[in-house]
Amino acid sequence: MGEPHVLLLGAPGAGKGTQSKRLAEAFGIEHVTTGDALRSNKDMDIGHMDTEYDTPRAYMEAGELVPDAVVNEIVKTALRSADGYVLDGYPRNLDQAEYLSEITDLDAVVFLDVSNAELVDRLTGRRVCDDCGANYHVEFSPPENEGVCDGCGGELIQRDDDTEDTVRDRLEVYEENTAPVVDHYREKGVLVEVDGEGAPDEVFEGISDVVDDAAN
């Protein structure tokens, strides 16, 4: 087998982004996220598709959601150029999961299992530097001085989408749209669940073991 094709699933706050980056570095594969893929291909010509706009950029500038068909095309382009990858943030629904199965073969599907109570704690505790964008957490990675960025001295703020009401809304949306994707892979017998509530190094070790097993 060549470089591994890994899908990492989990709710907002489960640690997908952090663990995906580590996995990509450790295995020498691409970290493919929907957001990065969109930004890299925002001027892609989609005029041949039956869509309202001719580029993803037009949707983004209009503040509209990019249709699934366009996201699918962009992810396909990103995966085509990667020998190995860890896919993070896609698929978000069952239609995307079906499409993914048509364009690539997955070697490992890993689900980071984190309770809702823990997810709320993680997401509401996040603080972001208003100047440089550095991320902190009041419990897990606090700054040296409360409310002040270690790097640039800027003010640390809580983003609007990190308030408890907004976080709970985000988790409800996840349960409605993306949790069925997890069930889909579980029913196919390919899903491996990793406890996502341990220390980051422990979680990474668990994911790495799954990928190592898939590669051998």
Give the residue numbers marked as catalytic: 16, 92, 126, 159, 170
Residues in the chain: 216
Of 154, 121, 123, 173, residue with least CA distance to 13:
123
The residue assigned the tokens 């309770």 is 115
Helix (H) or strand (E) holding 34: helix 34-40
Contact 191, 185 (CB under 8 A): yes
| Strand pairing category for 135-137 and 108-113 | unpaired
- Fill in the DSSP letter of residue 5: E
113 vs 131: CA distance, rounded Å? 33
60 vs 131: CA distance, rounded Å? 24
- Fill in the DSSP letter of residue 198: S
